[in-house]
Amino acid sequence: MKIHAPAHVVLVACTALEFPNGLLAMFPRKKEQHGAGSLAFPGGKLNVGEGVRGCAAREVQEELGVSVDPKGLKLVTCVTAVRGSKTYAFVLFHTNEWKGRMSNNEAYLAFVDPFNFDPTSLTYADRILMQNFRAWKEQFFPSPPPLNNL
């Protein structure tokens, strides 16, 4: 049995930065990027010699201006997508801890409720990441029962 690996795999590390009220920080993709104008998780391609968590932390710093501890990032999901001759592996982490004040010099920031948003406002890959994030939240951090049921 032969296994054929894609000719080129691009690893992309993304982070879901969650506020205490459950909103996630996202931003619009640049004009020259695939899915221009669509909202995306902060993230980007892995540099040579860089770890996946280190890449996620670096991208958060570059895109949102805040620092996160790579060791504190929790793995949420990994999704693959093929576009042309390239295969992309998207790794999504989660954190609710960072240092600094968020800002995006290139565009506005969006604060998205993962359970109530327009999925067409996200890139295709980010839609899948968001679906997986929601499932992860529901599985590991279920909502408490309503008080009237106690």
Lowest mean pLDDT among 14-28, 55-69, 100-114, 123-137: 100-114
23-79 pLDDT, tens digit per residue, is 999 988 767 666 677 899 999 999 989 999 999 999 999 989 999 999 999 999 999
Spatial separation of the C-alpha atoms in residues 50 and 75, rounded to whole Å? 17
pTM: 0.86
9-35 pLDDT, tens digit per residue, is 899 999 999 999 999 999 887 676 666
The residue ranges of every structural domain in the chain are 8-124
Spatial separation of the C-alpha atoms in residues 144 and 74, rounded to whole Å? 22
8-124 folds as Nucleoside Triphosphate Pyrophosphohydrolase (3.90.79)
